[in-house]
Amino acid sequence: MAPQKQVKHQCEIVITFGDCDPAGIVFYPNFYRFIDRTFHDWLRQWGSHDKLAARVDGLALGLIDCGATFHHVVRDGDVLKVELFITEWKRKTFKVEYEAFTNNILCLTAFEVRGLFQITEDKIRAGEVAPLRAIIDSQ
């Protein structure tokens, strides 16, 4: 049996008319905006995205891959609760997973694979994430 995921962060987002398409449901690219907001909100405990990246000699915690599955519609006026989990650490990447709910109904599952982008000899490359993990795991 797989170990239970531990929620690292939660963010509540009130859905507005502007988030929706003509059918009155959230336009799917906005879900990517919501998970990105949740990720950056989580990083605030270390000051900001920029400050955390700088602590590990990085330029950014950049996006390498992402995907989403939509389980239930979300409409204007709904409160979307987005939960963030760190589910995998590799040498140069880490995986962030998300689950989003309205009224305890699962609406979205999503993932991002991120890396620590560093500048070396005028090139951007993926650096080792172990120093980043040490900071995150210490919280």
State the pTM of this model.
Answer: 0.93
**DSSP code of 2?**
P
**DSSP code of 5?**
P
pLDDT for position 3: 63
DSSP readout, 11-77? EEEE--GGGB-TTSBB-THHHHHHHHHHHHHHHGGGS-HHHHHHHTT-SEEEEEEEEEEE-S--BTT
Give the sign of the dihedral formed by CA 25, CA 30, CA 36, CA 40.
negative
pLDDT exceeds cutoff 80 at 85:
yes
pLDDT for position 2: 57
pLDDT digit string, tens, across residues 105-119: 999 999 999 999 999
What percent of the chain shows pLDDT beyond 90?
Answer: 91
pLDDT exceeds cutoff 60 at 1:
no
pLDDT for position 139: 78
pLDDT digit string, tens, across residues 11-57: 999 999 999 999 999 999 999 999 999 999 999 999 999 999 999 99
